[in-house]
Structure 1
Amino acid sequence: MKDRMKLLVMVAVAALICIACMQTVSAETEDAQKKWIKDHTVNVKSTVLLTYEDEYLEITEIYTGNDLKKKTGLEKIVKSKKIPLEIGEIETKNKKEKVLVTKNEVILEDNGKEVLKIKKGEKKVFEKNKEVVLTKESDPYLTTTGIPDWTWPKVSCWFGICWYEMEDPINLVWQNTYKSEVKSEFPPDWTDYPYENTQYVFIGNKWVKADGIADDRYRFFGGHHARLWEIPGDTVIGNAHHDDAVFNYPIGHQVDDYEGAEEKVSNFYLNGWNVEADNLDLSNEYFSPFYNAYNNGSATLISK
């Protein structure tokens, strides 16, 4: 009897030691990830240039600053994107909102009030200081779960070295399925060809481009948007968010909601799928810089 009690005590002690070790390893991993982000955080001056030429609205953002030079060796990073515009009035979901495009100018109206006018050749300049997380192509942020935690647009390539910027947290994971099946559950009025900046995740040993889908191609006055990736193991991951209006400062879409968009997309899978809200801890809790949009760090898990 005494020997049995001793054995039980030894097993219990071993279990407690194992739990303590696991907690220690988990804490060390989390600390290492936090340190990685801190080491890759760069303070920059952001200058946004907005121009209209040849039926394209061009948005150029330039990063400069001493911290950028010190941590990356780059004098500046230039990010540029063009939004194609057709002459005439562009349809929006809200009929009170209008985007009127002529050969000489772009006019935006909200409820009959002009909110922005850009003439051909005119340049509007906006400046702001901000923090960004940047990393080289060869130095990806590595996850401990096997599931990428963040999305990354490619922001610069210089002398064969490409740089990526941390953007959005992954907040949706589908298991035992494929991307085509996941996309088939989105409403038919969502477009498979949205205007978006290209983003990547690091899978295996390479950076993989996203497949986007949105409730409106341009989302001039805001809208829902998701990016999807297939990863090994019959798994699809994604980020769902809601964008603000293109012409809110800073010019170009900014995320103003994560959690509501995560719930909205997960509701597409209530029939024939198993939906477990906030079931998978990815440790990517986040507040967006402009709207304080919150991601709680746990992804909704959806499976067949």
Structure 2
Amino acid sequence: MQNHTVNVTSTTTYKYYNGQLEIKEVYTSKDPENKAKVNDFTKINKIPISAKDKITILNGESFTLEEGSEKVIVTEKTVVITSQTDPYPWWGYGYQYPQWTWSEDNGQYAREDPINLAWEYTNLNTVKEKILDQGWISVSYPYEYDQYVSDPQYGWILDEGVADDKYGILGRYHTRLWQMSNGDVVANAHHDNDSPHQADQYEEAEDLVAGFFDNDLNNWWVLHDHYELDNYIANPLNDEYATCIYKVGS
């Protein structure tokens, strides 16, 4: 993926209006020639927050929840960005499952979270229903960022989201699920912080979701940290080993 690695300026604007906190992040290439053709990649999320809370915390700093309040944070990042017609072909490198999730803006795809769970001999609906039985709920945009994985037959696949809270104002556990063309189901499980609503745990969330199936030995066989995907992240920690879960009797 080295050819798709880009140094960018990340400009994140937080704005409170109409009872919601809008988070808008824009990547602008630092390469004067813009060889990677990054066209101001933009991500937008809106989180309902009551003004009665008065103050929330953004990146360790207080932010007053008043109509029209705005805060801009500029940082430098190294990101991986590809195009709609150039997905990373993980299947050509011997992997059973995709390694990463991707966000999309105008035909550009930016690498986001590591895949850390996989199911075999089942389907997405069965997996999702099992998680919903634990009191979780279905979530989709604007209550989560849309994310995708690439598939050798289906192309880019949009996630189906589940979480233990719809809004995640105080943080939440959140999992995105995908049905692959080979029949496998894959997921990224993580914990979101409250603001700016970014992943602050991977391993703990992976174990939590796997535990929903580990407690049902008559129907599921769980192998923790079973499959290496070479998607290590130091902070928050992802150990690059996905937990694999098999439907018993299939």
TM-score w.r.t. length of structure 1? 0.71
Aligned-residue identity in percent: 38
Q: Which amino acid aligns with 2:37?
A: G
CA distance in structure 2 between the aligned counterparts of 1:42 and 1:146, rounded to whole angstroms: 27
Alignment match, 2:137: 191
Aligned ranges 1:67-146 → 2 under 5 Å: 67=31, 69-74=33-38, 76-83=40-47, 85=48, 100-101=50-51, 107-108=54-55, 115-143=62-90, 144-146=94-96
Please give the secondary structure, in 1, of the residue aligned with 2:130.
Answer: coil
* Residue 234 of structure 2 is aligned to residue 301 of structure 1: no
Does the CA contact (< 8 Å) of 1:68 and 1:76 recur in 2?
no
Q: Which has the higher helix share?
A: 1
Aligned ranges 1:146-157 → 2 under 5 Å: 146-154=96-104, 156-157=105-106
Of structures 1 and 2, the one with the larger relative CO (CA 8 A, separation 6+) is: 2
Q: Which amino acid aligns with 1:40?
A: H
CA distance in structure 2 between the aligned counterparts of 1:68 and 1:118, rounded to whole angstroms: 38
| Cα offsets for 1:64-119 (capped at 9, x unmatched) | 24327523234522322223x3xxxxxxxxxxxxx5337xxx62369xxx943132
| Cα offsets for 1:206-253 (capped at 9, x unmatched) | 10100000111111221211000111333211111111122xxxxx22
CA distance in structure 1 between the aligned counterparts of 2:197 and 2:33, rounded to whole angstroms: 27
Q: CA deviation at 1:51?
A: 1.3
Please tell me whether Structure 1 or Structure 2 has the larger radius of gyration of its CA atoms. 1
CA distance in structure 2 between the aligned counterparts of 1:115 and 1:70, rounded to whole angstroms: 35
Q: Which amino acid aligns with 2:183?
A: D
CA distance in structure 2 between the aligned counterparts of 1:257 and 1:122, rounded to whole angstroms: 29
Q: What's the Cα RMSD here?
A: 2.1
| Cα offsets for 1:155-184 (capped at 9, x unmatched) | x31xxxx11000011111101001111112
1:69–1:214: structure 2 CA closer, same or farther, 3 Å change rule? Answer: farther
Alignment match, 2:115: 170
Alignment match, 1:275: 222
Alignment match, 1:239: 188
Report the count of equivalent residues: 234
1:167–1:245: structure 2 CA closer, same or farther, 3 Å change rule? Answer: same
Q: CA deviation at 1:261?
A: 0.9
Alignment match, 1:40: 4
Q: CA deviation at 1:61?
A: 1.1
1:70–1:262: structure 2 CA closer, same or farther, 3 Å change rule? Answer: same
